[in-house]
Amino acid sequence: MNPQQIWRAALGELQLQMTQGTFDTWLKPTSVLAYEDGTFIIGVRSGYIKEWLENRLVTLIKRTLVGLVGHQV
pTM: 0.91
Measured CA to CA, the distance from residue 67 to residue 46 in angstroms comes to: 27
Q: Give the pLDDT confidence score for residue 7 in this predicted structure.
A: 98
Of all residues in the chain, what percent carry a pLDDT higher than 90? Answer: 93
Binned at pLDDT 50, 70 and 90, residue 53 comes out as very high
Q: Give the pLDDT confidence score for residue 6 in this predicted structure.
A: 97
Give residue limits of the domains in the chain.
3-67
Q: Give the pLDDT confidence score for residue 23 in this predicted structure.
A: 98
Binned at pLDDT 50, 70 and 90, residue 51 comes out as very high
53 Cβ contact partners less than 8 Å away, ≥ 6 residues apart: 26, 27, 30, 42, 44, 61
Q: Give the pLDDT confidence score for residue 13 in this predicted structure.
A: 98
Topology classification of domain 3-67: GMP Synthetase; Chain A, domain 3 (3.30.300)
